[in-house]
Structure 1
């Protein structure tokens, strides 16, 4: 059994944040390593949003993370 990805959404369904619950964990935790969490997307049980919306959210976070800081 893979991890659980839980989307926190606004009233329009837009993903605001994603939580991850690893197998055996007692409670979910906010995603902090976007690249690692994105890698488990294909084997995760997703809740609160479609895989496509979660993929888009992770892609947006990756772009922000990869942007040069001024």
Structure 2
């Protein structure tokens, strides 16, 4: 039985769900921060996009790990 092939879709789903939650939190906190201090909008936006890029990179790493072949015992 090939268990790695059966777990890959689960890994994809968890990676996408985690990434979506992370991006939602980042954007929500940025909107909250801009509402409190509108003069920092430019700086906060650039930090937001950096955070989104790092969060999505973790998603891509999780998907890539699912494709690593494991040696058979």
Q: Normalising by structure 1, report the TM-score.
A: 0.39
**Higher relative contact order, structure no. (Cα contacts within 8 Å, ≥ 6 residues apart):** 2
Max Rg structure: 2
When you count strand as a share of all residues, which structure comes out higher? 1
When you count helix as a share of all residues, which structure comes out higher? 2
Q: Normalising by structure 2, report the TM-score.
A: 0.37
